[in-house]
Structure 1
Amino acid sequence: MNKGLNPSTTTRRPDRAALFIAAVLAAIAGLIFWDVSRLSGAAGYSQVGPTTVPYAIACCLAGLAVWTVFAAFRNDFPEREHQEISPVIWIVAGLAAQMLLLNVAGFSIATGILFALTARGFGKRKLWFSLPVGIALCFAVWVIFAKLLQLSLPAGPLEHLFF
């Protein structure tokens, strides 16, 4: 017997990706709350101090986490498209290469590699073209920041060749 249930209505499970996002938001909020609690005595005589803005951000993130949980259980999120993993891998590889090479190869080469691999992730197939273009652009950025603005960026063999 059907017992009054409509067989045409299907109950979907909560959106697991949304619940994961809510958990990450709650974890970040908890981390900020913990960090702010260590600074509690720094307010001094005023009600507004160095803990005010981080505390407000943590409250907003906690509220977003709760909102995301409710949306996950109501299945309010639209159906997601299939995610292509190869562009993500190219971009993450570029970021990893930049972090690993920054102090060894210098800003221009390391960031030029990031530029080329990110361009590859976005569909530019000619690495032989995007790598030197990326290095040249990043060298120009290094010159502007390190020489004109006197900011400290890691210098490598290319930078030492010219300066």
Structure 2
Amino acid sequence: MDMDSFDPRAPANHRPGQLAMGIGALVVAAVLAWGAMDIPSDAGYAGVGPNFLPWVISAALGLCGVMLIREVLTGGYRQMEEPSGSARGDWRALAWVSAGVLLNASLITTIGFILSCSLCFALAVRGLRASEGKPIGGVRQTLKDAAIGIAISAPVFWLFTKLLAVNLPGITASGWI
């Protein structure tokens, strides 16, 4: 923000919803802080307990909320460009992306992390193409997107399961797929 043009007596000139964003950030920060109170604070490795990160996140989000509200009450988002894109939402694209996320969540324990994430990737990419007005592609493009999804999700799966010892659902008992 340009402090030379800052005038605290200037009338608030903001769009509806800008103040709601700051208030919403404060509400989410308060909910996170309330949840952090239930996490035990016993110091673990390096003297940091499991409730440290939730407290840091809630404090940072609360600070962002205060700063957003201050910005709105002193003239709104002055340097904000006009939004780009369509005046209306693309429901077909939203349906593709939502289907990908919902199928990932519902199938991850059935078909495993790698396949469910690649399915999510393929459907989300299809939705993003539709939102740009591009052809969503046929079977060949979908298989190519699924292969790219596998190429992305497999190393993530192996990193989490083999290096970090985080249990993610796999297809086989070996833990490699």
Report matched runs for 1:55-134 at 5 Å: 55-78=55-78, 80-82=81-83, 84-86=86-88, 88-102=90-104, 103=107, 107=116, 108-124=118-134, 126-129=135-138, 132-134=140-142
Cα deviation, 1:12-53, whole Å, max 9, x if unaligned, reads 554432211112211221121011100144337x86322222
Does the residue aligned with 2:17 lie in a helix, a strand or coil?
helix
* 2:146 counterpart residue number: 138
Instruction: State the shift of 1:66 in Å.
Output: 1.0
Q: Alpha carbons of 1:122 and 1:53: their partners in 2 closer, same or farther (altered >3 Å)?
A: same
Q: Identity of counterpart residues, as a percentage?
A: 15
* 2:43 counterpart residue number: 43
Name the aligned partner's letter for residue 96 of structure 1.
S
Q: Alpha carbons of 1:20 and 1:134: their partners in 2 closer, same or farther (altered >3 Å)?
A: farther
TM-score (norm 2): 0.60
Instruction: State the shift of 1:144 in Å.
Output: 6.8
More helix by share: 1
Q: Which of structures 1 and 2 has the bigger CA Rg?
A: 1
The answer to whether the Cα contact below 8 Å between 2:14 and 2:76 also exists between their aligned partners in 1 is no
List runs of 5+ in structure 1 lacking aligned partners: 1-9, 156-163
TM-score (norm 1): 0.65
Name the aligned partner's letter for residue 94 of structure 1.
W
The answer to whether the Cα contact below 8 Å between 2:29 and 2:59 also exists between their aligned partners in 1 is yes
The answer to whether the Cα contact below 8 Å between 1:111 and 1:135 also exists between their aligned partners in 2 is no
The answer to whether the Cα contact below 8 Å between 2:32 and 2:58 also exists between their aligned partners in 1 is yes
Q: Alpha carbons of 1:91 and 1:23: their partners in 2 closer, same or farther (altered >3 Å)?
A: farther
Cα deviation, 1:114-155, whole Å, max 9, x if unaligned, reads 21111121232x1235x63243232343267459x6676788
Does the residue aligned with 2:82 lie in a helix, a strand or coil?
coil
Instruction: State the shift of 1:110 in Å.
Output: 4.7
Q: Alpha carbons of 1:101 and 1:55: their partners in 2 closer, same or farther (altered >3 Å)?
A: closer
Which range moves more in the overlay, 11-20 or 30-39? 11-20
Q: Alpha carbons of 1:91 and 1:34: their partners in 2 closer, same or farther (altered >3 Å)?
A: farther
Q: Alpha carbons of 1:33 and 1:154: their partners in 2 closer, same or farther (altered >3 Å)?
A: same
